[in-house]
A and B are shown apart, each in its own frame.
Chain A
């Protein structure tokens, strides 16, 4: 079937080599920093927003493949990063841009990657790679260039087997707890913005940073919220001390099964009756807090074109997604939340992905809490789901007024 499927196992010292855990090898040119990196390899199908992707902490310890053929065209600027650094463990693209064309650009992506030590590879058949990952599932991989291609002792080029052995030593994503390593160390505050700038906040939100993207507190600030971003190590008492009107759990990297401390924290929040909103990892933690399980998807959902149906309205929104794990909950029925014999009351799956019926949102009926698996803050991606921030604000408003929810 593959007429040109000559597995390129020969390479020169000036090449970059991508080795997959199952032995597939791709030879291309070095991109970004020269060196080596080993991690789980995943792909994103977004056509825009590489800068947001690279700085999304949820990509911590992942090598990202871009399906879009040209990357770096608009350079990098100071406004679009979602965090203070690039988080991806490695970067795989087809054609890096030789120049930068955008009025907001302050530097080139190539320089930024090199400066931050992100090892990458370019000019390989990224479509072949993605088709392989789609059918074989995501796996560990390594990118090698420069001296890492050589045996430090002899200076000779290393064999594929030697590179492969190094790849196989990298940890698997399943079983990794990563949110502590991406979370902020200190609490910080985002004040109301936009039309609410300089005004007394309508609400205070405690946002637990498990790998939070900058756009998320911004979306809340735009709606008149003061957002207290707190580290993942925060205690329930510390949250209470902030007197929040609502609590938010962010997106983040890693296996949701390895997150008992934050799940316990969340249960306390829910028991206390705080209005709650979770995104992505926050959705998985919410699922776990309610007593559902989570599982790893074969190749995940990463892109900004996925249709999600809001089961409460029947409407479809185009969403940005970045998740490798998902919540295992029954679709199409309202059930008592499994944890603690229905301690948190009734819950239903509020959103599903229409491509593959994966759970994309949970909503409680008896406590003021809901979450989504995808990214209503977008960045990068469509703004269709921004209404969820309004929902959260409404929830806090109702709670403040002491109204009963869905009574």
Chain B
């Protein structure tokens, strides 16, 4: 029975901003779905608030709305577009929740929109704990003994029954948000209290602890004829207790017999039927007791998930694409297997390689956050690798993570017995370093049994880790590294670099090892991911490397361009770079064979459908060189593009060029001109541009001297960083010394010589009260095309990746715009850019400062592209292969005359707002880490608000970023620092006009009183150190105080919005408690005055409730029409 004929238009909801637990994988699934629906002739209406996605590209849907995923906005879109059906299963929990809300609000019924993919009843059966338990029982499975609670008293009663440890899971949250394991009453109340809050239904499940059990996942699909397949089983190497998103996972399963696996499969199939997922996919998690094989069903997601993206990449079975077809009424046997093109999709992939996924964490961004891994996901990204065996696969995955110290290392002395004892103790609580601890302990002589006892990692995996160590020791101790041993080392997943270190040759020894390996003729071969373990011929060129005999690469006729992707998502290098890479692939594919290299399973770029060839490989010099060499044998290669994937590929540029690999676009020398402080300073001097005064330092003394010369406050950071890692605003000598000493501690011991760092710290003048601007531009050597000029809403000092910004700029004058254009042209010329460049500027007292330049795609490129209706990365890709901007204007990729650097009257305004992950990060005693924004980037994702003017667009951006958006009345708490107090009264008057009641600390209230503005006074918060939660706070009531401090008021739900501008970093603890409480309560809070004035304008817009809805297709037509006039 072919597809349904009664559906001609479908609305797809995306997953919104990238947050922990819901990342780029939904761009991959949503993009697949949109493509499938359009291929089927369906009119697609897409809604997603995240502009940095391929799915929101104009050609992916018929009408694309970059709008908040909120019921009132969705209803407007539904009223305008009148879709026949809504497909909510491909946009993560966000889309599922949005569909439930639309259903409950009666919107679906009112406009006669059918929910396809999953019914509301099925969603509820899958997500509601009690209903799901019944399904599991009926399926013949077991659930952990548990009960549901809505209050802490109920929680206590349940634990009396079950005993500790217990797992607490809130209902209807994603990525395990708010869940955790409690071993005692303190932990229980902290976790359950937060969980009840985070659950939209204020409900938590409390269940028996099964920590240490083996953990598995199944990805299943079902069609309307009740055919079910298991696409892929996944085994978690970390046992139950660590969220699967934070675990190292492997596919398929390695430590179950067929009987056990089939039992799990039977239960899984009965569950997908019982829940009633009629057309689509689901993910089910299981725990298996290693002592006796007892199976417990943990949970299921009745939708496409992160794990399904992983399973799709791991097997070549495109779950989202097939889910979309099933939703249209196809059955599995009617759908072809893309890869073989000869067999149907109604089969279960079988694989003849090992897939390993390793999570990428960002704890370094959140000092003070508890590094313990729990059932609440904390990783920000992941890398996947495929290998011929587990060791090879693990080694490749660990080096794909692109964190230098995360690969196994045997540098230095063998760990002592005391250290081994320490390590065994440390590894018993899971952290991101657990596998390093295990490897070190094994090196120090720990037995496999000891490792198992400490970690409960299955003995099979422990043995594999021990074998890696054994091979490493052989490499280290062998007199000569003969071909056989070197091959063994490669099969154990050791990189040339690791081998060089084992041979005591240092970093440079990597080249020696490579030459030796090549002399031995020892090169990786490339095998195909084919869904069928070679049983059938595979037509899709999706490759991975391994050390074996036969390579399966095919010869090419067309010239090839290799595009290096950005690797695992991390803070500062996220989905935006995948977006730009995909654009290059799409655009260059017209004239070249595009070859994509990447290792991030959550992305569109690693969809085997996107490029002519896909290499799922680590982005290291060794791996990239081998691909280049192998491809050169298959046909002509024009070169490698490094400027689109962010810092990871960019950092390979110089070495690749030195190895005679042609780098397309901006040359490595030019990259260095922009990235090297001294050289860039030269460029600026030559072009008569200002930079904030700066200096460099290798030691405490040098740093102090530099800071005194520049004048405090200063911005300190290490050189060559992305996303401002390790940056800090420093106000005095004490803070500066602390910073430098910390940097010395963090640098590897063997690189610090007599108190000096191996590479310099950069110290800049910090620009206070300045306006910061981001400019994205294209340069072809001759002409400059401004992609967009984005004005930050916050003042300078907030990392550009965390700041809200607006395009077109809201306050810049024509003259300032002209100066920005001229400066950008000078820098692009001075550095010799070919392709994209991003420059960050600041105007302080109308003086233009150049803060930094990045000769590559920046994270604002997707936003600027969407806001200006021009695909900048596509144009950049063509410039990189030698075409001019004039040609791009002629072929319609760029505007024919002007560019994105002018403001057209009547043009829509786009506001980008950042989304921050603070909720996920808590200190060891359960407090939220400080949310203060600074020069260190911390946001994971972004949203775009799009409307006719800045206030409306800003209001939408807030609605998209925070559930509920801005309040329009209620209680606002104000606490501002002395510098900001002058700006406050006018704002306060406005708030009162809106109908807000003002609450303030004594100091702020006193200023307001002098302006005749009444406010309620709250107590100051006594300074509490965040490591001593239980220290009782002494109560000092202020005069006229309501007798409560603001944290109490936030916790009891009185406060609706907060303005809290911080003092300097040294005296921030008071503000910290406020910000932490606000995060916990999910309140909108603002930390700068400029942003708050935007907020006031936006509240006015919200009150009017006159948002405009415009699809980006309409927007682009409007812009091109304006240009023609």
Contacts and interface: CB of A to CB of B under 8 A. Distances in A.
The answer to whether A and B belong to the same complex is yes
Interface of A: 1-6, 8, 26, 43, 45-49, 51-52, 67-70, 73-74, 77, 79-80, 94-95, 97-99, 101-104, 124-128, 130-131, 134, 299, 303-307, 309, 314-316, 318, 354-356, 378-383
Query: Which of A51, A95, A127, A382 has the most chain B CB atoms inside 10 A of its CB?
Result: A127
A306 B229 CA distance: 11
A305 to B, nearest CB: 4
Contact of A130 (B255, B257, B352): B352
B535 interface: yes
14 contacts: A1-B554, A69-B390, A70-B254, A70-B390, A73-B255, A74-B256, A77-B257, A80-B257, A131-B550, A299-B535, A305-B348, A318-B230, A318-B347, A383-B262
Interface string B854-886: 000000000000000000000000000000000
Interface residues of B, number: 64
A45 B533 contact: yes
Contacts of A3: 523, 525, 551, 553, 630, 633
A1 B553 contact: yes
A69 B354 contact: yes
B7 interface: no
Contact of B353 (A46, A69, A97, A101): A69
Nearest to A132: B550
A5 B94 CA distance: 50
Contacts of A303: 350, 533, 535
Contacts of A318: 229-230, 347-348
Interface of B: 225-227, 229-230, 252-259, 261-262, 265-266, 290-293, 331-333, 342-344, 346-354, 388-390, 458-460, 463, 467, 521, 523, 525, 527, 532-537, 548-555, 630, 633
B350 A99 contact: no
B591 to A, nearest CB: 25
B351 A47 contact: yes
Name the 4 nearest CB pairs between A and B, nearest first: A49-B258, A380-B258, A128-B550, A67-B533
A306 B347 contact: yes
What does DSSP make chain A's interface, helix, strand, loop or mixed? loop
Contact of B548 (A48, A128, A130, A305): A128
A189 B140 CA distance: 30
B606 to A, nearest CB: 21
A378 B551 contact: no
Contacts of B459: 99, 101
Interface of B is mostly: loop
Contacts of B532: 45, 305
B935 to A, nearest CB: 47
Contacts, number: 186
A45 B315 CA distance: 14
Given A307-B333, A381-B258, 18 more contacts: A2-B550, A6-B521, A45-B532, A45-B535, A49-B257, A51-B257, A68-B533, A73-B255, A80-B258, A98-B463, A103-B291, A125-B550, A130-B352, A134-B535, A303-B535, A316-B333, A354-B333, A378-B262
Contact of A98 (B259, B292, B467, B551): B467
A4 B256 CA distance: 34
A314 B549 contact: no
Contacts of B261: 48
B854 to A, nearest CB: 38
A23 B946 CA distance: 68
Given A73-B460, A305-B349, A134 B534 contact: yes
A74 B254 CA distance: 8
Contacts of A47: 252-253, 350-351
A190 B229 CA distance: 33
Nearest to B290: A103
B535 A127 contact: no
A48 B258 contact: yes
A48 B343 CA distance: 22
A299 B533 CA distance: 14
Nearest to A5: B550
A5 B467 CA distance: 28
Contact of A126 (B255, B343, B352): B352
B389 A101 contact: no
B257 A48 contact: yes
Contacts of B226: 315
A193 B348 CA distance: 31
A128 B549 contact: yes
A59 to B, nearest CB: 15
Contacts of B230: 318
Given A48-B256, A70-B390, A101-B460, A127 B344 contact: no
Given A5-B549, A314-B225, A316-B346, A130 B258 contact: no
Contact of A305 (B290, B347, B553): B347
A4 B523 contact: yes
B355 to A, nearest CB: 11
A174 B352 CA distance: 29
Contacts of A48: 253, 256-258, 261-262
B614 to A, nearest CB: 18
Nearest to B332: A316
A20 to B, nearest CB: 14
Contacts of A356: 343
B535 A354 contact: no
A381 B633 CA distance: 41
B448 to A, nearest CB: 8
Contact of A52 (B225, B258, B265, B537): B258
Contacts of A101: 255, 458-460, 463
B389 A45 contact: no
Contacts of A127: 352, 527, 533-534, 548, 550
Contacts of B523: 3-4
A379 B354 contact: no
Contacts of A130: 352, 533-535
Given A69-B354, A74-B255, A77-B257, A315 B225 contact: yes
Contact of B534 (A6, A26, A67, A305): A67
Contact of B551 (A1, A70, A102, A355): A1
B344 A102 contact: no
B218 to A, nearest CB: 12
A69 B332 CA distance: 28
Nearest to A3: B551
Instruction: Pick the most buried of B229, B353, B535: most chain A CB atoms within 10 A of its CB.
Output: B535
A94 to B, nearest CB: 7
A49 to B, nearest CB: 3
A299 B534 CA distance: 12
A307 B554 contact: no
A226 B293 CA distance: 30
A80 B291 CA distance: 18
Contacts of B554: 1
A70 B344 contact: no
Nearest to A72: B460
Contacts of B389: 69-70, 94-95
A43 B532 CA distance: 12
A63 B1025 CA distance: 69
Contacts of A104: 257, 293
Most buried by B among A69, A79, A80: A69
A2 B458 CA distance: 37
Contacts of B262: 48, 378, 380-383
Contact of B344 (A128, A131, A355, A378): A355
Given A49-B258, A69-B388, A378-B262, A131 B346 contact: no
Nearest to B266: A383
Contacts of A355: 342-344, 347, 536
